Amino acid sequence: MSVKLIKEPLTEEDVRRLEDFRNMLEEIIETVDLLLNPEALEGLAEAEKDAEEGRIRDWDESMKDSRGKVFL
């Protein structure tokens, strides 16, 4: 396999495409990490069950309840 050396600077479009590609690779790595973590998968399954059974709250409601509390 031959390697082609770039002799000209990258265009803004080239940089944007490389950033998009990097972001996609990071998302794939995060997904694989999640799939390899049994505890995370268990938590995800529990969260899905909670959502299906209506045991969820929206962001605004959670923020109203959290005023004055410190979350670490």
pLDDT value for 5: 80
Looking at residue 23, what is its pLDDT? Answer: 98
Task: List the pLDDT tens digit at each of the 72 positions of the chain.
Answer: 677 887 889 999 999 999 999 999 999 999 999 999 999 999 999 999 999 999 888 888 777 777 766 554
Which pLDDT score, from 0 to 100, does residue 62 have?
A: 78
Q: Which pLDDT value is given to residue 47? A: 94
- Burial letters 43-71, b for 16+ CB under 10 A, else e: eeeeeeeeeeeeeeeeeeeeeeeeeeeee
Q: Report domain extents, the chain.
A: 12-52
